[in-house]
Amino acid sequence: MDGGAAKGRTGGAATRWGARLALRLAALAAAALAVALIWASHGYLTNLYSEGLRNRANVRAAIYSGSLVNVLQRHQLIPAVLARDRSLIDALIKGRYAMTSARLIDVNRELGARSLILMDRDGRIVAASDRRLLGTSRADQIYFRSAARDNGTVFAITGIAERDRGFFFAHPVRSGGSLLGVIAVEVNLGQIEEGWARDSGRVFVTNSEDVVILSSTPDWRYRLLSPLLEEARIAALRSRRLGGLEILPVDEAQSGRRLRIDGVTYLRRERAIGFRGWTLNYLAPMDEVQAKVNAVMALEIMVLALMAAVIFWINSKRAWRRLLNLQRESEELRELNRRLSAEIDERRRVERTLARTEQSLEQASKLAALGQMSAAVSHELNQPLAAMRTYIAGARLLIERRRLEEALVSIQRMDDLIGRMAQLTRQLKSFARKGGQELRPVDLRDAVRGALSVMQPQLAQHAIELVTDLPRSPCMVRADQLRIEQVLVNLLRNALDAIRSQPHRRIALTIAPGRDYVIRVTDNGPGLPPDIDAIFEPFFTTKKPGEGLGLGLAISAGIAQDLGGRLVARNLKDGGACFEFHLPALQDMETAAE
């Protein structure tokens, strides 16, 4: 039971350990899943919001490039148209410019250019929408020189410093092939840049050489966009008029659709605007996307954390319940322990009482045995004493009648009986010592004769038909003759008692040879009482008080057992009782001993 419990405990511990491992693995898997979920959703959301941003960038780039192209185209047309204006040509021919500036101011009111200027053949401003410019010379300006050489509209960018930056469309004014002057319009691109500056994204325009020429961020102007330009190209660019170009601090690692400038990542949209290889760039800051993604991620992480908290809570509640259960169980165990110790104490007490009781019982049984023994002794001695009384009475009669020979025989018989009694007491003494008496080979026929001689007077007195059938050859057993006789006398006396009231009284005594010798004593009495086994119990008797003690058969059965045999009783079919005294034959005993 202990082993089973131990096994149960080990089994329980193993199960608990397994469960804990499974729980840990599950927690690990859940954590990994959560990380994977966060990672995947981060990617997904970034893509999603980037898509939105990309669309917006596309739209903005389209709008800005459209409006830029529109402005440029509008301004581009004006110098060519004004170059054919009769009033301007006349003014230049005549050198009379009184009305010319008013005319230019008028035109510019519609156009909205930064300035509209008319230069004479020497580059001096003779008329302008801004009268403050009148009289100044533009002879060294590239747009004047290019237009003077050319026949069509030229475009030129002037200055690299913020204040003298200008975008000019210029057209020569000719009459009959000779140059009269140059008409130029300065496009107000600064205004457009101001419009871009209001956008959250960055807008800039690069020329065909990747130099930023327009930008919503003033700082970026005249910088090279591409960080990958070769040294030679940079050198060539530097030799040009734009002079000392700086490169935009573009992060090299990010290229293509994304750009990282001054630590900010942008989504880049390019659009060729179809004017001198210019490209409009729209940069949408990615941090907006990041902010949105972060907001959703924060929500997601919060939900996950909440779920983890709920699971943890449920788990801890379960653990708490388990703890309570454990506490209750240990309380029950303690209670059980208390009860067990109480029971053990009680048992010890009972054991002590039992020991005391046993002691007194032993004492009692000793006394009982003593009583039984005294009863047995008096019982066994009564038989020969009764026989002796008869012999004495017989001897007295014989002596009175002077039949001395016969009296001597009676006296001899009495002597035999006294010898028997002496032997009997010795026997009882040895019985007390148990097994003290030595066994010898005995012829059963002698024992039968001995018993019959003890019973002779009583058998004769009641006119009993005695049938004996003894084998011719000796029936040898290893035994104590006197004790066999003792058994047989008991059986004969019981038979005598049983048949006493029968009209015809018969007792048979036979020895049947075989593996066991069986001495059979049968009578034609009323038979045994219903509970046959009970007759061998000490003090069982059906006889009147004073007639029987109920010890004869108990003693006889004990003797039979001591001699290695047994005593059995049964009823005969025709009525009457049959007692069988089984004793192992001497040869068999010898063989068995061997």
Residues of this chain that interact with ligand ADP (CB under 6 A) are 490, 494-495, 498, 523, 525, 528-529, 535, 540-543, 548-554, 577
- In Å, how far are 111, 389, 423, 455 from 392, measured between CA atoms? 185, 5, 20, 15
For ligand ADP, which is the closer residue by CB, 269 or 582? 582
Rounded Cα distance between 583 and 581, Å, is 7
Shortest approach of ligand ADP to residue 463 CB, angstroms? 18
Backbone angles phi, psi at 115, to 5 degrees: -155, 155
In the chain, the amino acid numbered 358 is E
The neighbouring-strand residues paired with 520 are: 510, 580
Nearer to ligand ADP, 57 or 528 (CB): 528
- In angstroms, give the least distance from the CB of 501 to ligand ADP: 12
From edge to edge, which strands make up the β-sheet containing 566-571? Answer: 465-469, 506-512, 516-523, 577-584, 566-571
Closest to ligand ADP by CB, 234 vs 532, is 532
Q: Indicate the residue among 401 and 543 with the shorter CB distance to ligand ADP.
A: 543
Residues 359-367: contacts with CB under 8 Å, at least 24 apart: none
Task: Give the nearer residue to ligand ADP in terms of CB position, either 89 or 532.
Answer: 532
How far, rounded to the nearest angstrom, does the alpha carbon of residue 167 sit from its chain's CA centroid? Answer: 81
Which of 509, 507, 519 lies closest to 475 in space, CA to CA?
519
Can you tell me the distance from the alpha carbon of 268 to that of 53, in angstroms, rounded to the nearest whole number?
10
Least Å distance, CB 490 to ligand ADP, is: 6
Specify the residue, 330 or 561, whose C-beta has the smaller distance to ligand ADP: 561
Residues in the chain: 594
Taking the complex as a whole, the smallest distance from the CB of residue 477 to ligand ADP amounts, in Å, to 23
* Furthest CA-CA distance within the chain: 224
Q: Which two tokens stand for residue 130?
A: 């801004």
> Structure tokens of 479?
């035994």
Nearest distance in Å: CB 578, ligand ADP: 8
Q: What angle do CA 220, 223, 229 make, to 5 degrees?
A: 140
| Complex with ligand ADP: residue 279 or 522, whichever CB lies closer | 522
- What residues does 154 pair with on adjacent strands? 170
For residues 39 and 255, is the Cβ–Cβ distance under 8 A? Answer: no
Between residues 110 and 533, which has the closer beta carbon with respect to ligand ADP? 533
d(CA 506, CA 553): 21
Shortest distance, CB of residue 498 to ligand ADP, whole angstroms?
3
- As measured in angstroms, the least distance from the Cβ of 571 to ligand ADP is 9
Nearer to ligand ADP, 214 or 496 (CB): 496
Measured between alpha carbons, how far apart are the two ends of the chain, in Å? Answer: 47
Q: Which residues, 6+ apart, have CB-to-CB distance to 152 below 8 Å?
A: 80, 171
Alpha helix stretches (DSSP H) within 174-286: 189-197, 231-239
> Cβ of residue 405: shortest distance to ligand ADP, in angstroms?
37
Local structure of 515: helix, strand or coil: coil
383: amino acid identity, one letter: Q
For the record, the structure tokens of 92 come out as 């230049």
> Which residue, 442 or 551, is less far from ligand ADP as judged by CB?
551
Residue 407 or 488: the one with the smaller Cβ distance to ligand ADP is 488
Question: Given the DSSP bridges, would you call strands 258-261 and 246-247 parallel, antiparallel or unpaired?
Answer: unpaired
Minimum CB distance to ligand ADP, residue 548 (Å)? 3
Cβ-proximal residues to 220 (8 Å cutoff; 6+ apart), any chain: 202, 204, 212, 248
- Closer to ligand ADP by CB, 405 or 533: give it: 533
The least CB distance from residue 570 to ligand ADP, in Å, is: 11
Tokens encoding 397: 């009669």
Minimum CB–partner distance for residue 580 and ligand ADP (Å): 12
Minimum CB distance to ligand ADP smaller for 87 or for 468:
468
| Gap between the Cα atoms of 439 and 443, Å rounded | 12
Q: Extract the tokens encoding 239.
A: 């030799």
> What is d(CA 169, CA 160) in angstroms, rounded to the nearest whole number?
17
The CB-of-527 to ligand ADP minimum distance in angstroms stands at 6
Q: How far is CA 205 from the centre of its chain?
A: 68
Distance CA 250, CA 163 (A): 26
Residue pair 497/543 in contact (Cβ under 8 Å)? The answer is yes
Q: How far is the CB of 491 from ligand ADP (least distance, A)?
A: 7
Structure tokens given for 532: 């046959």
Least Å distance, CB 503 to ligand ADP, is: 16
Cβ closest to ligand ADP, residue 140 vs residue 547: 547
